[in-house]
């Protein structure tokens, strides 16, 4: 489960799965989002911990890192006499504060996760669809729930900001040493079974479609071909619009978001 922008609910298959899994879809209007978060957290708190091993994902930056957004983040910090971040954006703390304060001790722990990409090939949605591979280093840190403030909302917000201070230092270290600190390193080998499964399922799903297309062409079923062509065009345009909605230019940096309900 997690908090994610509302556009994601319209993604085919993935968006449907998120809706059935009680994800929180955010509209970036805090009055609406706060009610949605409280309502869904009540559902989450009723999960049986013995039957459901749940993870709740929070991405407090709320958008992807770009030079323009980093500049706005630095300006946001300077205006409030806060030390600016070098490698991350100032986090939006409201969602995290609401989730932690609502769930409280029903949480087992907090995992702080940092991603870094060695080299210059930074991944994105289009690179994924293009099949371009990217190396990634991931740093995990477990924080016991007893070390996380749960009632004082200002303390929770300070806790979230401090985690981003730590992320900032970790990314500085990674940029210099091309690795994260610590002796526990777990390199993951390439799993060729995943590649094999991809080709097997591609064959099983694409082959019937091609045979059906051949049947339509052979039997001159032009109305059906036209209908399928229109469906493909509409599906492609819909996917393009959804992907474009996640573009880095669409999400405002800290201090420039809509102020409804703030």
99 vs 125, higher pLDDT: 99
Q: d(Cα 178, Cα 116) in Å, to the nearest integer?
A: 9
Pairing of strands 109-116, 137-144: antiparallel
Place of tokens 């991405």: 59
Q: d(Cα 63, Cα 24) in Å, to the nearest integer?
A: 16
pLDDT of 8: 78
262: confidence class by pLDDT, cuts 50, 70, 90: very low
User: pLDDT at residue 246 above 90?
Assistant: no
- How far CA 113 is from CA of 58, 135, 171, in Å, comes to 10, 16, 12
pLDDT of 53: 67
Q: What is the 3-state secondary structure (H, E, C) of 8-38?
A: HHHCCCHHHHHHHCCCEEECCCHHHHHHHHH
For the chain, count helices (H), then strands (E). 8, 4
pLDDT in tens, 9-64: 877 777 788 888 778 888 878 888 888 888 888 888 777 655 556 778 888 887 77
257 vs 242, higher pLDDT: 242
The mean per-residue pLDDT over the stretch 243-249 comes to 56
| DSSP one-letter code for 179 | S
User: pLDDT at residue 231 above 80?
Assistant: yes
What is the pLDDT of the chain when averaged over all its residues? 81
User: Coil, helix or strand for 6?
Assistant: helix
pLDDT in tens, 171-227: 999 989 888 998 777 877 777 888 788 889 889 988 988 898 888 888 888 888 899
């Amino acid at each position: 489960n997690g908090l994610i922008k509302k556009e994601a609910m319209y993604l085919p298959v993935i968006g449907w799965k998120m809706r059935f899994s009680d994800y929180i879809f955010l509209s970036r209007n805090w009055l609406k989002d706060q009610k949605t978060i409280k309502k869904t957290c009540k559902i989450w708190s009723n999960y049986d911990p013995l039957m459901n091993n749940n993870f709740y994902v929070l991405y407090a930056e709320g958008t992807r890192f770009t030079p323009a957004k980093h500049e706005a983040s630095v300006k946001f910090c300077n205006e409030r006499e806060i030390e600016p971040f070098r490698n991350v954006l100032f986090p939006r703390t409201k969602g995290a504060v609401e989730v932690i304060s609502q769930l409280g001790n029903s949480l087992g722990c907090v995992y702080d996760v940092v991603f870094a990409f060695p080299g210059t090939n930074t991944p994105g949605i289009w690179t994924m669809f293009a099949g371009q591979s990217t190396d990634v280093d991931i740093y995990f840190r477990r924080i016991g729930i007893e070390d996380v403030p749960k009632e004082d909302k200002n303390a929770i917000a300070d806790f979230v900001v401090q985690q981003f201070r730590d992320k900032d230092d970790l990314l500085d270290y990674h940029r210099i040493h091309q690795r994260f600190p610590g002796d526990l390193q777990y390199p993951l080998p390439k799993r060729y079974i995943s590649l094999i499964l991809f080709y097997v399922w591609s064959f099983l799903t694409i082959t019937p479609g091609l045979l059906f297309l051949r049947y339509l062409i052979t039997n001159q079923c032009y109305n059906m071909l036209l209908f399928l062509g229109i469906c493909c065009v509409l599906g492609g345009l819909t996917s393009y619009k959804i992907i474009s909605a996640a573009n880095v230019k669409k999400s405002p940096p800290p201090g420039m978001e809509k102020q409804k309900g703030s």
